[in-house]
Chains A and B, each alone.
Chain A
Amino acid sequence: MKELDGLELPATVRYAESHEWARQEGELVTIGINDYAQDRLGDIVYVELPAVGVRLGVGEEFGTVESVKAVSELYMPLAGEVVAVNSGLQEDPAAVNNQPYGQGWLIRVKPDAAEPLAALLGRDDYLANLKG
């Protein structure tokens, strides 16, 4: 169990209160779960992701991430159309634990809004939120 100050929270992504992260990459946004979420969940053994082409709104559930112990929902940090999912996670769900911001990415979205990350938190605000 990582201490809050020991969490990896890169400044290159923005954060949702429900612990997803989002990163703008050209006109698309890549989404995953952050170090706090993967650490608290433990060993991820299964990931359920949406179908490509699905349109989802902010806060809508887009899948689940399952650890040895529990199943947890994933929530859209922004609205948009799913254009890609990380099918590599079928063989290697542990990538979500080991590289949550890299190879453990979950979905790629074409966002509806012009500034899709504006409503999300920077790492300092997210960490302050966690500390409560």
Chain B
Amino acid sequence: MDEAKKTRLHPWHRAHGAQMALFAGYEMPLWYAAGAKAEHLTVLQGAGLFDTSHMATVAVRGADAFALLQYCFSRDLSAAVGPSRKPLAPGQCLYGVFLTAAGHLLDDALLYMLGVDDYLLCVNAGMGAIVARHLEAEGAGRAVAITDLSDRLVKLDLQGPAAAKILWPLLAAPEKVFDHFPYFTCKGHFDPASPLATVLLADRSPLLLSRTGYTGEFGFEIFGQPEAMAGLWAELLAQAGRYPLLPCGLAARDSLRVGAMLPLAHQDLGAWPFCNNPWLLALPHRRERPGFSKEFLGGHALLRLGACEYTYPFAGFDLRKVEAAGGEVLTVGGEVIGEVLTCVSEMSLTRNGQQAVILAAPAPAGENRPAGLCCGFLKSRQPLRVGEVVLLRDQRRQLRVEIVAELRPHRTARRPLREMLAG
């Protein structure tokens, strides 16, 4: 894989025996020596550290940045934050999507408002140039500068209940950083010249730190300059004696994300209308009456949709999977009604007996029940009810699964920071 792109941490991954694989043009770790199951469980019990530098970042700055993002990004920046739908303010983040004119997915993204007229987008690996070009085209003639920062920064995801305790000793002023840091907010800047660069490592290297993350658990995304971040990677892992902590690869990243009922872009969201799925919070729906609160690219198509397929989360009855690619969804009567989008073994889940509805945290100590549950997302031509059983079929096997409303319970993402720092 000589032509594959490599992140700054690639030599570390190779030196530590990672199983490598090609992903979006990057040679990335699938798992390390402990294995994907241990990595998945360790994130939930302590923390895991992920190199997510292959994800792309795009800066959007200028007097027309707000207007351009209002048109291209699915969230209503003027009415997006909290139950009272306040406007997005500096230091806040939003999850949303970029749609095509037909209402299909271009990419999903996290939007960071760093300051007035100063935004950052974190998009998927390999998508930096595509999203940047898209914004440049839509922003032609407007007072906005789009900068593709792909491959210029290192991004780490530190995820799990111990994340804040692990990061604390490595910051220059942790009491200040961790004083009031709500979910989906950000602090600092990765550019040392920026007046926003207020979050520093002990060696004064600047970080952009956000209380977000790919896995849906408590933790942080950390953006910084490559050399400083390579040092931070090693220093974070050196904390492993004090807390359960492992470097984690793409396999655990995906199984944790799916178990959190979050979509894998270009797999669970794709070249079909963004509708009838579990992530409609990304759309600017009005509260009092149907329709959207703003005009945006793809909005018209979504309002004029006729039939629309239905995307549902499912959970199986044991950990066996089907292959998503080519996997079909059938009614119990044998009629093909859709396709499998994603199917993983979520190793922290099991069932309480054969009862369909209850999913439990890892089996109680002393019980030798094999843990792990197949779960994922499927797309169906017809609506299905929570609790309804369907069949998933690939070339090898046919599995019974049921539609669920929730997967991994007790996710820690939104827990108050002071609770995660205590003890």
Contacts from A to B (Cβ < 8 Å): 1-2, 39-40, 42-43, 45-46, 64, 66-71, 73, 90-91, 93, 97
Contact = CB atoms under 8 A, between A and B. Distances in A.
A40 B36 CA distance: 12
Interface of B: 17-20, 30-31, 35-38, 40, 251, 255, 318-321, 323, 344-345, 347, 368, 370, 372, 396
Contacts of B18: 1
Nearest to A66: B320
Candidate in A2, A39, A67, A73 with the most chain B CB atoms within 10 angstroms = A67
Given A66-B321, A68-B345, A71-B396, A42 B368 contact: no
B19 A46 contact: no
Given A40-B19, A66-B319, 19 more contacts: A1-B18, A1-B20, A2-B17, A42-B19, A42-B35, A42-B36, A43-B37, A45-B319, A45-B345, A46-B318, A46-B320, A64-B396, A66-B321, A67-B36, A68-B37, A69-B36, A71-B320, A73-B396, A97-B35
A43 B321 CA distance: 14
A91 B370 contact: yes
A64 B344 CA distance: 17
Nearest to B40: A68
Contacts of A69: 30, 36, 251
Nearest to B36: A68
Contacts, number: 56
A127 to B, nearest CB: 19
Contacts of B35: 42-43, 68, 97
Contacts of B255: 68
Contact of A71 (B321, B344, B347): B321
Contacts of A91: 368, 370
B251 A45 contact: no
B344 to A, nearest CB: 8
B273 to A, nearest CB: 30
23 contacts: A1-B17, A42-B31, A42-B36, A42-B251, A43-B36, A45-B37, A45-B319, A45-B347, A45-B370, A46-B319, A66-B319, A66-B345, A67-B36, A68-B35, A68-B37, A68-B40, A68-B251, A68-B347, A69-B36, A69-B251, A71-B396, A73-B396, A90-B370
Contacts of B323: 70-71
A17 to B, nearest CB: 21
Nearest to A39: B19
A86 to B, nearest CB: 15
